[in-house]
Structure 1
Amino acid sequence: MPDSLPQRTSQPLASTSRSLPEWLQYLEMLHPVGIDLGLERVSQVANRMGLLASPIAPFVITVAGTNGKGSTLAMIEAVAHAHGQRVGTYTSPHLLRYNERVKIHGQEAEDQLLVKGFEHVERARLQSPGISLTYFEAGTLCGLWCLSKSKLDLAILEVGLGGRLDAVNIVDPDVAIVTTIAQDHANFLGTDLAQIGREKAGIFRAGRPAVLGSQALPASVAECAKALAAPTFQLGHQFNHQAMASHSDLWQWSGQWADGSYVSIDQLPDPGLPIDNAAAALQALSLTGLALDKQAVQTAFSQVQLPGRLQWIGPWCLDVGHNPHAAEYVARHLPLPPQGGRQWGLIGMLNDKDIDGVITALTTRISHWVCVSLPGERGCQASELSSRISAMGGQVHFCADTPELGADWLADVLTPDDRVLATGSFLTVAALLAQLLPTGVALPEGDEHEIR
């Protein structure tokens, strides 16, 4: 579920012909709360739209989990595309444009297609009796409608929040993936990892393959699959990955086809995303019957990109991680700055996240901090972040009212050997992606530390 949704009101606008921005503004006011878990209302509207009468694509893969959903989905898409398949995806949240949430054959959905989708959702929603939908529910129905009209070979759906009661779960997947389980969205999912696992495993279907993409999942996930007699494929058991001894920068994947026979692909490049997720992506695709071609997989992993996940722009690393599990991964994979350089952290978070847990994970790597405020009732103030970092012994140099102002301040103090991790929220990263980021204070010509 997007961590950027505004509060809703109960006063809808009059129905008119709307542009996409006008539709999005309208949808923000349809429901009294931003997050309202449950499938009854969204299923009723989906049935009115005919979305559940037939599959939206010949194969559907649904991805749930606390972290790694976006990475897994991006690699499934890249590999399938490299094999010549026509792929559609539905993800959330977006960084810069709403259109990012729906992609058809590698391209963001055009405004016109999304507007048509929202018009279909609205007509179905207003049939008697009228049904109220959240912003996310309406967007999910629109996305599913767009995918259903696009003549796909494969549709890949990312769960927003949880799994069992998420709007995406109205669609029955052919293969379901749970990537990781950790604490996040505690107000809705609680803090019991076993229960969180059961919620995520709510996307499993009876008799259909379930891919478990981590060796550290709570037992409740596999128990849910077993209760449904869903064939289970777990990392470290039915599929695995390992570094190649002769090529330290390459790795090998081994897995199983749907009939239980084994398959292996070696000499795979580092995709720049978690290898656990890459392995799960290959296992899921093998279960759709796709004959994996080594060269196509190599091409896909060498070219896959996912904005906002350890994304480098000059000396800036942007990562949307907003829980301790994600922050720990970032800290482990953040390279050291050049000798003499400082590692800065620009952080902005929402106040319903585990702020202390994220800071604790990052303090192993961050020596200098800039704290920024995020907007809205859920936005944490920079002063609060600063207090928590200082209490842990961190050094906060500046507090800014926005991520943009934090970046502007850094423009005057960065040296060419400094590096900056910008993290804590989709909102933080989105704000910085929309502007030109500073690359460091220019040094006199000929200086040995000039920018390279």
Structure 2
Amino acid sequence: MAAFDAGRLDEWLAHLEQAHPKAIDMGLARISHVRDVMGLKPGFPVLVVAGTNGKGSVCAFLSTILRCAGYKVGTHTSPHLLRYNERVTVDLQEASDEALVDSFRAIETERGDTSLTYFEFGVLSAMKIFIDAKVDVAVMEIGLGGRLDAVNIFDGDAACVVSIDLDHQAYLGDNREDIGREKAGIFRTGKPAFCGDAEPPQSLAAVAAEQGTPLEFIGRDFGWQKEAEGQQWMFWRGDTRRHALPLPALRGQYQLGNASVALAMLDALREQLPISLNDIKRGLLEVEWPARCQVLPGRPQTVLDVAHNPHAARALKSALDQMGYAETTHAVFGMMADKDIEAVVRILGDRIDRWYAAAPNLPRAEPADQLAQRIAALQPKARVTAFESVAGAWKAATQAAGDNDRILAFGSFYTVAEVMAARGR
């Protein structure tokens, strides 16, 4: 059968969605074979970032600080919000349609009879683009788990597991020990690894010991503390001290933990990738990562957050508490049916006055009427309304909210993406 070919990115993405019988097919044999056929061997340091939550923020910190230090940085993250191009950047600039199409075409030509998933195509595409662009360093975000994730075909010069909590249990296990073991699969013998979870499962250290990986934990081997009455902070790792750091542009105190993980990784690679204190300060101030507790300008206060599991909901709740008072909080809310909806609603329920339940436009989404019923059962004092679309829920919330209110859109990448599209951005 002749290989697929097309000229437009949207045609390729539609093809990739149908190119493999399973959307998720854990295992490294197929993609490793295609990697070897294509000769994709990075000649630059690779930083691998895993975790239930926070890994996108760590990637953003790493990439921005490295860019401020003058390095040419390739970054691969997932999923995207509005455009596939967001997943692959060089020097923080999205890959062009042409570059992505050329990389997909090369993979399609070389893979032969080996079938690849949408995500596996994306990982190979990103690395090909980075090698062709001659980047100095690549930052790669794990998609799901770690041990069997497609990104794990590339050895990390440093790795981290930002957090460990229950999510994707069907693939990773139904307890933190099993999930930690899967995420620790990105560790390599003799290569530094870091954990940003304050209460890590024992399996993480066990895997590191088995593999001879020097693993450091936040709060024990590295960490942070506030300075200057909370207006600055200090990072520490062993004998290293970085004083008078500005608060990151990403909101929420939990981002200091994410920033510390990034700084620990960079400190471990300081001989390969030297970085100055000024580079760090600039990177902390310039970092951007949309829809992670993102506060939009104007009134009423509008907050976008892709929080879609209990761990992320707790972080969002803490961040909301730091934002100050709002007369009424309106929540545009949609989640996937396979997520822990009840736990998320319980965690955030007492911070929300009016719920606007909606289903993002994809089959996995919890139907709006069922979502509204579940919210009402858990939060009987709240006002709950179901809407036919996320855009309709967003419009209703903006019409109802006063200047002293807050509008929160959360529950899924897809929910926030449809809100952003409804806003015309």
- What band does the TM-score fall into relative to the shorter chain? over 0.9
Counterpart CA distance in 1 for 2:87 and 2:156 is 19
The answer on 1:78 being equivalent to 2:64 is: yes
Shift of 1:13: 9.3
1:356-371 maps to which residues of 2 (within 5 A)?
356-371=342-357
Aligned-partner Cα distance in 2 for 1:332–1:415: 23
| Contact residue 231 and residue 247 of structure 2 kept, 8 A | yes
1:280 paired residue number: 261
Q: Which residue of 1 aligns with 2:159?
A: 176
Q: CA deviation at 1:60?
A: 0.6
Please say if residues 313 and 344 of structure 2, whose CA atoms lie closer than 8 Å, have aligned partners that are also in contact: yes
| In 1, Cα distance between equivalents of 2:274 and 2:326 | 49
Partner of 2:403: 416
2:335 alignment partner in structure 1: 349
Q: In 2, distance between residues paired with 1:353 and 1:67?
A: 14
Residue 2 of structure 2 is aligned to residue 20 of structure 1 = no
**Residue of structure 2 aligned with 1:187, choices 157, 170, 176:** 170
1:207-227 CA-partner distances (Å, limit 9, x unpaired): 111111122110111111111
- TM-score with structure 1 length normalisation? 0.89
Q: Which amino acid in the other structure matches residue 36 of structure 2? A: N
* Amino acid of the structure 2 residue aligned with 1:97: R
**Is 1:320 matched with 2:302?**
no
What TM-score comes out, normalization by structure 2 length?
0.94
* Post-superposition offset of 1:428: 0.4
Q: Per the alignment, in what secondary structure is the counterpart of residue 434 of structure 1? A: helix
Structure 1 equivalent of residue 97 of structure 2? 111
AA aligned to 1:275 is L
Letter in 1 for 2:31: V
- Residues 80/383 of structure 1: CA separation in 2 closer, same or farther (3 Å cut): same
Q: Secondary structure at the match of 1:251?
A: strand
How far residue 430 of structure 1 moved from its aligned partner, in angstroms, is 0.6
Matching of residues 228-247 of structure 1 within 5 Å? 228-244=211-227, 246-247=228-229
Aligned residue type for 2:66 = A
Say if 2:353 is the partner of 1:378.
no
1:263 is aligned, of 240, 250, 258, to 240
1:143 & 1:389 partners in 2: Cα distance?
Answer: 40
Cα deviation code 1:156-181 (max 9, x no counterpart): 00000010000000000100100000
Which residue in the other structure is 1:448 paired with?
none
Structure 1 counterpart of 2:293, from 305, 310, 314:
310
Taking the aligned partners of 1:145 and 1:312, their CA distance within structure 2 comes to 35
Amino acid at match of 1:278: A
Gaps of 5+ in 2: none
Q: Deviations over 1:197-246 (max 9, x none)?
A: 000000001111111112211011111111111112211122110011x3
Deviation at 1:323, TM superposition (A): 0.2
Q: Does 1:153 align with 2:140?
A: no
Conserved 8 A contact 2:334-2:357: yes
Q: Tell me, in whole angstroms, the C-alpha distance in 1 between the residues paired with 2:103 and 2:326.
A: 53
- Report runs of 4+ in structure 1 exceeding 6 Å deviation: none
* Secondary structure class of the residue paired with 1:405: helix
Secondary structure of the 1:177 match is: strand
Q: Contact (CA 8 Å) 1:118, 1:138: kept in 2 or not?
A: yes
- State which drifts further: 410-419 or 168-177: 410-419
User: Pairwise mapping of residues 27-106 of structure 1 onto structure 2 (< 5 A)?
Assistant: 27-51=16-40, 54=41, 56-106=42-92
- Residues 1:144 and 2:144 are matched in the alignment: no
Amino acid at match of 2:71: Q
Partner of 2:193: 210
Contact 1:320 1:424 in 2 (8 A): yes
Q: For 1:188 and 1:324, how far apart are their aligned partners in 2? A: 18
- 8 Å contact 2:397–2:407 — kept in the other structure? no
Deviation at 1:370, TM superposition (A): 0.7
From 403, 413, 425, give the equivalent of 2:412.
425
SS at match of 2:366: coil
1: distance between equivalents of 2:44 and 2:61?
A: 19
Query: C-alpha separation between the residues in 1 aligned to 2:378 and 2:161?
Result: 33
Residue identity matched to 1:42 = I
Q: Which residue of structure 2 aligns with residue 449 of structure 1?
A: none
Shift of the alpha carbon at 1:101? 0.4
Unaligned runs of 5+ in 1: 1-11, 257-261, 439-452
| Larger helix percent | 2
Q: Identity percentage over the alignment?
A: 39
